[in-house]
Structure 1
Amino acid sequence: MNKLFTCAAILMLGAGNVLAQPTINQLSASAVTMPMIFPAPQSIELGKGTILLGKSVTLVAAPGTDAETLAQVREILTGAGVNNILTAQRLPSNPEGNYIVIGTGKASLISQALKQSGTVIDTHAEGYTIATIARANGGIITLAGHDADGLFHAVQTLSQLAQRAVIPALVIQDHPAMPIRGTIEGFYGAPWTMENRTKHLNFLAGVKANTYVYSPKDDPYARDRWREDYPKTTLAELGKLVATARRNHINFVYAISPGPTVCFSDPAELKLIERKFDALRSIGVHNFYVALDDIEYTKWNCELDKKTFGAPGAEAAGVAQARFLNAVQASLNAHDPDARPLIMVPTEYYDAKESPYKAALRKNLDPKIVVQWTGTDVVPPAIATTDAQAATKAFGRKTLLWDNYPVNDYAQTIGRLLLAPYTRREAGLAEGLSGILSNPMNQEAASRPAVTGVAAFAWNDKAYDANRTWHFSARELAGGDERTTAALLTFFDTQHIAPTFGNQPWQEQAPHLKATLDDVREAIAGGDAASRQKAINNLIQCADGLATASDIILSGTVDPAFAQEARPWLDALQLWGRALQLTAAGLNAADQQSAAAARYFANAKKLAAEAAAVQSIKGATRFDGPIKIADGVLDSFIADAPKLIAF
């Protein structure tokens, strides 16, 4: 990405998607090019030739292949224009036409198909291999999963390959770097709706995530009223969500937050948790989490804890929590031996410094239990491999990173959507973490650009490219439309800032727009008339792009949920864009020594004030407030512009 990002986006906006569909003759003569797959595969090697799917494909499924995974393959093929999907039990000795062979590595059919490509299956958990062979009269595409999860991930990659006009001959060997990847719905404020969650689980599947933790702080039955049973209707809704997660090969984890009121030493409390977990087990939940964050350890909730563990304090809290959690883990072992280990988030979750609490937890906590940790701070500006090593030492095990990005439930995020790419996490973290869970925003669809980055980094941290992944997320939200993608990237740039709990953000605001506006300031200051006029012309283009981006985003190709969640920001963006258009007109008039400059600048000031007054959707986030669009960049430039050229 260069500093002319915003102007480049505007050129895309004007051009639209004008790529003509190639003819078959053109395809056969075209070069074989490397596809861009997200998350980046561990390895991908091109072969010779390409495969045009055409109208007919024969599907050869190995015994035991998951029916829903097969159904998704059919859906992908139909979307790619295949209208005749035949089936067969084996590959013929001299296949004609296009064949897709699908199954897990245990099937002889898969081994035979991969052998034709001179490769073998990736043997890592959740790993997969895709091998495509181009022939004069068709081709063979083999989708081989090490396990059912790996095969499902292979199908997600096929979905991206099938969006191209042709599929190149290639071999992809792929598997995740981190075993746990996904999100924790752990924010304060309005929880997601069941519809939001369903869409989110479908989205997570596409980016090869494998974990969703249900932990909304404002679910009373998970926190304030954790001892009470869920109403039957709510339990039934959760059951539907669990079924959606299962179809998407997502591990649905239920989190309970008893910390504010629990009596750690009372056996009756464990029985209540067991009862809650039994009810959730009845709807298909087999993985659980106990959250002990955002509570005090300077007091006990019951006299029995004081008698059992002594005076309240950090060390005593660590011992009490460890014993309680060990009992929960033992209960899980007894009820469901195949369940994954219990996950917990400690009261000291925000650094890796040695402390009496961490020492007590490290000494007493069952080593099987997974510990979450938010990094070097509640909202860390960066996370290095040395930080992960320090956390491993402090907690006595590899930690599961709870990354508080792009969550926007704290005061510094008022009026913001956090849409910057996921960055400043060091490659190599896979060696020091058991995984990463993103804590998203109250706005589910708007969280996807950042979460896409988290999932891609957790899948392959060493090959992760933040900007390319960011662009991919915009294309996905835009439904593949290039004009809308460009408009989204223009909008994303105005929401680029990533705050912390302090005064210093960890990502700067509107870097691409700022570069354009800085060019204008520098050209005007330089005193050269030709350079000044060129910069003003670029400013006019960029202002037009800002002013029209909202209408393009709302035109219909973007996910409707994103358009609804972002509506106040899009309204404000349009007003700010019009204010910048008037500012550009004012600078142009001032450069021509026209008295009209004063009128342009005055009207720009009025529009800017109107834009700054747009409010967020009441109740949508924990804190309401005025919408912020490229604040500190756009508003400053509009305010300063009348003083840049005397008229």
Structure 2
Amino acid sequence: MTAKPPIRPGSLGIIEGFFGRCWSWNERRDMARFSAHSGLGFYLYAPKSDSRLRRLWRQPWNDADLRALLELRRECQSLGLAFGVGLSPLELYREPGADACRALAEKVRYLNRLEPDCLCLLFDDMRGDLPALATNQIDLAHCAAEHSVAEQLILCPTYYSDDPVLEKVFGTRPAHYWETLGERLDSHIGIFWTGPTVCSDRYPAEHLLEVGARLKRQPILWDNYPVNDSSVKSQLLQLRGVDRSHGHLPALVGGHAINPMNQPYLSRIPLLSASEAYRLGDAYSPEHAFESACRALAEEPLATALIEDTPLFQDRGLGALTQAEQTRLRQRYQQWADDPMAREVVAWLNGEYAFDPACLTD
């Protein structure tokens, strides 16, 4: 690993790290182009629906998917985007020892053919009530770093926030878990953090400074806005601009990865606002950024429709809309069938983004 990793303080990008309906390869390449043109610096491929990265992680991709991934990597490279991949070896830390490291090393060498700039070792959304959890995960992270060609490795801990929902769902966090990670994990390895909660609206400076002291490095933010893959949030289209607190994040985090919605084109609206927040700092206005993004990304009158209907999409949500409201909205957006954002609204209204029960952290 180099002294100047591709994801570093002041860098903003995306992590395709959600559950549920995945993006197509064309949508991923479109997102890479949008990211590069909007001031984002990296693309991390880590969809929970890719079984070859999680449930069946020991198995290779089929030839078609491997070719598509190589094409995505080349697209990112041509655009000047750092490219990374997120591996979630499901609860491998419960099998500590040489065999576990050997299996992980084999997979990491397989991933090397993608020539990733960044390798993410993800232990999120797995059982964590194991006394040696931190030690076992550190050993695996060091093993992955030894065998990867990536310039940077980032670990996502099982407990990636102070949010009590994580212990409720994944078991009691072992004593001194974060402190052990901070003290024993190679200082060149980054650590993901989602903020005060799993899906944080704001990132207070005092919170991030405290976490940085605990982990003995600036956390790399895994930002779960606007992601909408949970039972509650799958009922929402989260389009508004990111919070004002994003304007001070470049100095407080070791990098900032945004987890978008299952709807890739509608996700561009809040993604563009995040880029604006990084550019403007204290002068950033979420309201202005939201309307500006809508008008930059959609032609009139679709842009105005999205602005007008966001309270229904983001505050009320699909389950609270009456049949009459759903019919009216469906008819309104069907008239722009050539626009991918309008098509995503209609698909959402039609229930095509069903909740994936594998996502447990609501």
Distance, in Å, in 2 between the alignment partners of 1:270 and 1:326 is 9
Query: % of aligned pairs identical?
Result: 24
Contact 2:122–2:156, Cα closer than 8 Å, also in 1: yes
Cα distance change, pair 473–547 in 1 and its aligned pair in 2 (3 A): farther
Aligned amino acid, residue 330 of structure 1: E
Determine if the alignment matches structure 1 residue 358 to structure 2 residue 92: no
Alpha-carbon distance change, 206 to 620 in structure 1, aligned in 2, over 3 angstroms? farther
Distance 1:352 1:410, change over 3 A: closer
Which residue number corresponds to residue 330 of structure 1? 146
Matches within 5 A, 1:23-42: none
* Residues matched between the structures, number: 338
1:411 aligned partner, one-letter code: S
Give 1:391's aligned residue: 211
Residue aligning to 2:272: 452
Indicate which of 317, 339, 342 corresponds to 1:563. 342
Question: Does 1 or 2 have the higher relative contact order (CA < 8 Å, sep 6+)?
Answer: 2
Could you say which residue in structure 2 is the equivalent of 1:282? 113
- 1:484–1:252: structure 2 CA closer, same or farther, 3 Å change rule? same
> Is 2:26 the partner of 1:208?
no
Once the two structures are superposed, residues 530-576 of structure 1 have per-residue CA deviations (whole angstroms, 9 ceiling, x without a partner) of xxxxxxxxxxxxxxxx99876665444x8632222210566xxxxxx
More strand per residue: 1
- CA distance in 1 between partners of 2:45 and 2:8 (Å): 24
- Cα distance 1:261–1:547, how it changes in 2: closer, same or farther (>3 A)? closer
Aligned mate of 1:493, from 301, 311, 324: 311
Give the partner amino acid of 2:157.
P
Q: 2:134 aligns with which of 307, 312, 318?
A: 318
> Is 1:346 aligned with 2:157?
yes
Q: Retained in 1: the 8 A contact 2:13–2:43?
A: yes
Task: Determine the structure 1 residue equivalent to 2:170.
Answer: none
For residue 591 of structure 1, what is the aligned residue in structure 2?
A: none
CA distance in 2, matches of 1:427, 1:466: 10
The letter for the 2-side match of 1:342 is L
Cα drift, residue 186 of structure 1 = 1.1
Trace 1:49-128 onto structure 2 (pairs within 5 A). none
Distance 1:426 1:206, change over 3 A: closer
The residue aligned with 2:189 is 369
Task: Normalising by structure 2, report the TM-score.
Answer: 0.83
> How far apart are 1:468 and its partner, in Å?
2.1
CA contact (8 A) 2:230 2:355 kept: no
Q: Partner of 1:241 in structure 2? A: 72
Asked if residue 257 in structure 1 is aligned to residue 88 in structure 2, the reply is yes
| SS in structure 2 of the partner of residue 322 of structure 1 | helix
CA deviations over 1:201-259 (Å, ceiling 9, x no partner): 11111211011111111211101111112222211111111111112222111110014
**Amino acid in structure 1 at the alignment position of 2:307:** L
Aligned to 1:66: none
Query: Aligned in 2, Cα 1:463/1:326: closer, same or farther, shift over 3 Å?
Result: farther
**Whole-Å Cα distance in 2 between the matches of residues 385 and 255 of structure 1?**
27
- Cα distance between partner residues in 2 of 1:414 and 1:341: 32
Q: Give the drift of 1:272.
A: 3.0
Shift of 1:474: 0.7
Answer whether contact 2:152 2:189 (CA < 8 A) is retained: yes
1:268 and 2:99 equivalent? yes
List alignment gaps of at least 5 residues for structure 1: 1-124, 126-148, 150-175, 299-311, 500-508, 510-545, 571-614, 624-647
Contact 1:264 1:321 in 2 (8 A): no
Please say which of residues 342-351 and 428-437 is displaced more in the overlay. 428-437
Matching residue of 2:168: none
Aligned to 2:167: none
Q: In structure 2, what is the equivalent of residue 576 of structure 1?
A: none
- Aligned-partner Cα distance in 2 for 1:225–1:262: 16
Rg: which structure is higher? 1
CA–CA separation in structure 1 for the residues paired with 2:227 and 2:270: 10
C-alpha displacement of 1:491 = 2.1
Q: 1:469 to 1:381 in 2, by over 3 A?
A: closer
Q: Deviations over 1:593-642 (max 9, x none)?
A: xxxxxxxxxxxxxxxxxxxxxx512x55427xxxxxxxxxxxxxxxxxxx
SS of the counterpart of 1:367? coil
Supply the distance in 1 between the matched residues of 2:181 and 2:296 (Cα, whole angstroms): 43
Q: Output the aligned Cα RMSD.
A: 3.1
- Cα distance in 2, alignment partners of residues 278 and 459 from structure 1: 38
- With the length of structure 1 as denominator, give the TM-score of the two structures: 0.48
What amino acid does structure 2 have at the position aligned with 1:563? A
Residue equivalent to 2:351 = 616
Secondary structure of the equivalent of 2:14?
strand
Q: 1:208 to 1:241 in 2, by over 3 A?
A: same
By how many angstroms is 1:391 displaced? Answer: 1.1
How far 1:376 moved relative to its partner?
0.2
Q: Is the 8 A contact 1:177 1:458 kept in 2?
A: no
1:263 offset after TM fit, Å?
4.9
Say whether the 8 Å CA contact 1:349–1:372 is kept in structure 2: yes
1:436 touches 1:454 (CA, 8 Å); kept in 2?
Answer: no
Aligned partner (choices 57, 60, 67) of residue 226 of structure 1: 57
The DSSP-based 3-state class of the residue aligned with 1:445 is: coil
Contact 1:384–1:425 (CA under 8 A) maintained in structure 2: yes
Q: 2:301 aligns with which of 483, 488, 510?
A: 483
**Match for 1:199 among 26, 30, 36?**
30
Task: Provide the C-alpha distance between the structure 2 equivalents of 1:231 and 1:482, rounded to a whole number of angstroms.
Answer: 42
Tell me, in whole angstroms, the C-alpha distance in 2 between the residues paired with 1:196 and 1:245: 13
Contact 2:240 2:287 in 1 (8 A): no
2-structure distance, mates of 1:231, 1:407:
28
The residue aligned with 2:290 is 470
Give the whole-Å Cα distance in 2 for the aligned partners of 1:389 and 1:451: 24
Q: Distance in 2 between matches of 1:375 and 1:457?
A: 18
Decide whether aligned partners of structure 1 residues 459 and 250 sit closer, same or farther in structure 2, where only a CA change above 3 A counts. farther
